[in-house]
């Protein structure tokens, strides 16, 4: 199944993956509609409380218009014989309903509380009205880790876990009864949270072992232990069950393993794969993750790394039931792209492997470029470009040595040293500063080879050839700018912490290189209409400057 994850609060993403016929042609069996296309925003609650969305009010008209749009989208998917699912946040209810019954619905902190009987009654009513209003629905995807209300003006909500993990059990049992048993529909319960249920086996099992399996019940888990990052594992023998959580800092310091909750317990599972990686350029340049997901990223193939670390190692597990691709989206903002080629490549290989896991990643990739018309003599060269991108991303952005801040760049923002100081401290303590800098230089060499290969490919479409070349130049410039940024950050930080002066000539050389690369990047964007949008080098966090530009300006003369 596939989903386009629209940027919350922005215009809807334009994508071929929104076309049900395209999905059907590419061997998908289901479409997951995003949060604000969910059935919960197309019901009027009239049978429960007619005062919530009266026809004559702005809120009532909003719901009616939303329902019409949702019906059209669901009908189009059913016409292509796709299963129709929608993802909805829990707990989210109409604002007026919460205002009228606040005491019955919320706890002392004013949060919706699933342990309260009236809250449970309202969730049951929500299920009833959704399935009655939208008979096209084959099931639901439930998200609890975050709550987005950007495009839901008449609703309020919050995370359902207010009283510990038991709240998950309460909610799942309620949904299991209403969706799986009463209506014989499928329920995909996402385990996504900030480093507990989703990441640590003891939490996953404490919840799921308390739920009776059902043929219609699935748990949905990202293939990464945390978010869609990459980082080498620094301690293969770490016992994750001794930890209270495994999240952002843990991912940076200890690595981003294949999710250890995949393949355990007693429930069916689907695995989530993001094809437009939000932390790694969003398809603005090649970033081939399909091989890493299917066969294992290179950072997993070191001595001591435990299996499973890829889909090929879980495909025979009876709990593994399929893959859910996010073809587009995740995260916020840009880079915004005008050609989906690199994203389509990831989605094609993942979806076609899921429909026939006996085929190799290489065979499927060759099927893709054959369909795109690339001469057979260039297939191997194209695949080398793709595999180089996997290597170039981890060396240029994270590290094959691990212990780097995984979130120092995300979406279209590049931050400076503000979040990396504890990581830099450990590099200095281990006398590894030069090793990390050499790795960034190696990444530049990789991206220069990618750029060179891109100029030797000959797809039938000149428009596609041009985009591939521009996007590979985009990637080379980006990672070359990252490399000089690291030189400046570490050169300056080492001097600041040791109270020794840095080499002014060397620092000026790197700052000049940064300025030249930034100009080259802007020129690429200005001179090419199909160039993805630019990154931001200046930014702030609640008024505090955090961008790479601010760090670099600190070390200018």
pLDDT at position 557: 77
The closest of 466, 460, 517, 459 to 338, measured between CA atoms, is 466
Task: Supply 90's token pair.
Answer: 């829990």
pLDDT score, position 541: 87
In the chain, where are the structural domains located? 2-280+323-335, 376-556
Please give the pLDDT value at position 145.
83
Tally of helices (H runs) and strands (E runs) in the chain:
17, 14
- The CA distance from 216 to 185, in Å, is 6
Handedness of CA 98, 207, 85, 134 (dihedral sign): negative
Closest residue by Cα to residue 347 from 387, 410, 293, 309: 293
| Omega cis (within 30) before 335 | yes
Q: At 276, is the pLDDT very low, low, confident or very high (cuts 50, 70, 90)? A: very high
Query: Which tokens go with 372?
Result: 């795109």
Q: HSE, CB side, 13 Å, CA atoms: give it for residue 514.
A: 24
Report the alpha-carbon distance of residue 484 to residue 492 in Å, rounded.
12
pLDDT (0 to 100) of residue 404: 98
**400-436 pLDDT per residue, tens:** 999 999 999 999 999 999 999 999 999 999 999 999 9
Return the pLDDT at 448. Answer: 99
CA distance 93 to 40: 9
d(CA 295, CA 552) in angstroms, rounded, equals 39
Percent of the chain with pLDDT over 70: 100
What phi, psi does 143 have (nearest 5°)? -110, 130
Please report the sign of the dihedral spanned by the C-alpha atoms of residue 133, residue 137, residue 142, residue 147. negative
Bridge partners (DSSP) listed for residue 155: 94
- CB count, 10 Å around CB of 523? 12
- DSSP letter for each residue of 484-517: HHHHHHHHHHHHHHHT----HHHHHHHHHHHHHH
Segment 477-510, tens digit of pLDDT: 999 999 999 999 999 999 999 999 999 999 999 9
Q: Assign domain 2-280+323-335 to its CATH architecture.
A: Alpha-Beta Barrel (3.20)
User: Which two three-digit tokens encode residue 465?
Assistant: 């050839």
Q: Can you give the pLDDT at residue 542?
A: 86
Which candidate, 7, 158, 154, places its Cα nearest to that of 66?
Answer: 154
**Residues 399 and 521: beta-carbon distance below 8 Å:** no
State pLDDT tens for residues 27-86.
999 999 999 999 999 999 999 999 999 999 999 999 999 999 999 999 999 999 999 999
Question: Residue 177 — pLDDT band, cuts 50, 70, 90?
Answer: very high
pLDDT over 90 (residue 14): yes
Distance CA 316, CA 321 (A): 10
Are 293 and 349 a contacting pair, CB within 8 Å? no
How many other CB atoms sit within 10 Å of the CB of residue 214? 16
Distances (CA, A) of 248 to 220, 230, 252, 318, 360: 20, 12, 6, 31, 33
8 Å CB contact between 158 and 119: no
Dihedral sign for Cα atoms in the order 483, 485, 486, 487? positive
Q: What is the pTM of this model?
A: 0.97
User: What local confidence, expressed as pLDDT, does residue 303 receive?
Assistant: 93
For 270, phi then psi, to 5°, come to -120, 150
The pLDDT score that the predictor gives to residue 536 is 98
Tell me the per-residue pLDDT of 308-358, one tens digit each, with 9 for 90 and over: 999 999 999 999 999 999 999 999 999 999 999 999 999 999 999 999 999
Q: Residue 316's pLDDT is what?
A: 98
The chain-wide mean pLDDT, for the chain, equals 98
pLDDT for the residue numbered 151 = 92
Decide if pLDDT at 172 tops 80.
yes
């Amino acid at each position: 199944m596939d989903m386009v994850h629209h940027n919350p609060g922005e215009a809807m993403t334009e994508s071929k993956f929104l076309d049900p016929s395209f999905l059907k042609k590419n061997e998908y069996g289901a479409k997951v509609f995003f949060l604000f296309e969910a059935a919960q925003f197309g019901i009027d609650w009239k049978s429960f409380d007619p005062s919530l969305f009266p026809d004559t009010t702005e809120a009532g008209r909003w719901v009616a218009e939303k329902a019409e749009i949702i019906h059209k989208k669901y009908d189009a998917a059913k016409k292509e014989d796709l299963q129709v699912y929608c993802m909805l946040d829990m707990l989210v209810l109409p604002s007026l309903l919460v205002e009228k019954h606040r005491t019955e619905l919320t706890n002392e902190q004013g949060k919706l509380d699933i342990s309260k009987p009236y809250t449970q009654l309202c969730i049951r009513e929500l299920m009833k009205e959704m399935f009655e209003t939208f008979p096209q629905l084959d099931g639901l995807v439930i998200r609890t880790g975050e709550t987005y209300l950007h495009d839901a003006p008449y609703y309020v909500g919050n995370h359902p876990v207010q009283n510990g993990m038991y709240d998950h059990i309460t909610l799942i049992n309620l949904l299991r009864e209403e969706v799986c048993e009463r209506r014989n529909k499928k329920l995909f319960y996402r385990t996504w949270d900030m480093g507990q249920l989703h990441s640590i086996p003891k939490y996953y099992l404490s919840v799921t072992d308390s739920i009776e399996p059902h043929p219609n019940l699935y748990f949905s888990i990202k293939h990464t232990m945390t978010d869609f990052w990459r980082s080498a594992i620094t301690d293969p023998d770490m016992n994750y069950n001794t930890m209270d959580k495994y999240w952002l800092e843990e991912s940076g310091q200890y690595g981003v393993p294949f999710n250890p909750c995949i393949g355990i317990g007693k429930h069916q599972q689907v695995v989530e794969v993001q094809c437009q990686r939000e932390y790694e350029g969003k398809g603005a340049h090649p970033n081939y993750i399909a091989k890493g997901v299917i066969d294992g990223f290179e950072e997993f193939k070191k001595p001591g790394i435990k299996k499973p670390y890829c889909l090929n190692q879980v495909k025979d597990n009876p709990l593994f039931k399929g893959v859910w691709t996010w073809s587009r989206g995740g995260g916020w903002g840009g880079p915004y792209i005008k050609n989906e080629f690199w994203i389509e490549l990831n989605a094609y290989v993942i979806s076609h492997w899921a429909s026939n896991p006996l085929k190799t990643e290489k065979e499927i990739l060759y099927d893709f470029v054959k369909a795109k018309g690339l001469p057979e003599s260039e297939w191997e060269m194209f695949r080398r470009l793709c595999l180089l991108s996997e290597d170039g991303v981890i060396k240029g952005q994270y590290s094959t040595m691990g212990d780097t801040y995984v979130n120092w760049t995300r979406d279209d923002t590049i931050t400076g040293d503000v979040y990396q100081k504890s990581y830099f401290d450990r590099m200095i303590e281990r006398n590894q500063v030069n090793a990390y800098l050499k790795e960034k230089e190696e990444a530049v060499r990789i991206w220069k080879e990618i750029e060179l290969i891109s100029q030797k490919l000959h797809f039938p479409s000149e428009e596609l050839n041009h985009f591939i070349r521009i996007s590979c130049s985009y990637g080379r410039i980006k990672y070359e700018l990252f490399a000089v940024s690291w030189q400046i950050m570490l050169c300056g930080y080492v001097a600041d912490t040791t109270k020794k002066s840095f080499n002014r000539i060397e620092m000026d050389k790197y700052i000049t290189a940064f300025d030249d690369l930034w100009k080259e990047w802007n020129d690429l964007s200005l001179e090419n209409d199909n160039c993805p949008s630019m990154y931001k080098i200046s930014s702030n966090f609640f008024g505090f400057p955090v961008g790479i530009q601010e760090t670099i300006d600190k070390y200018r003369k």
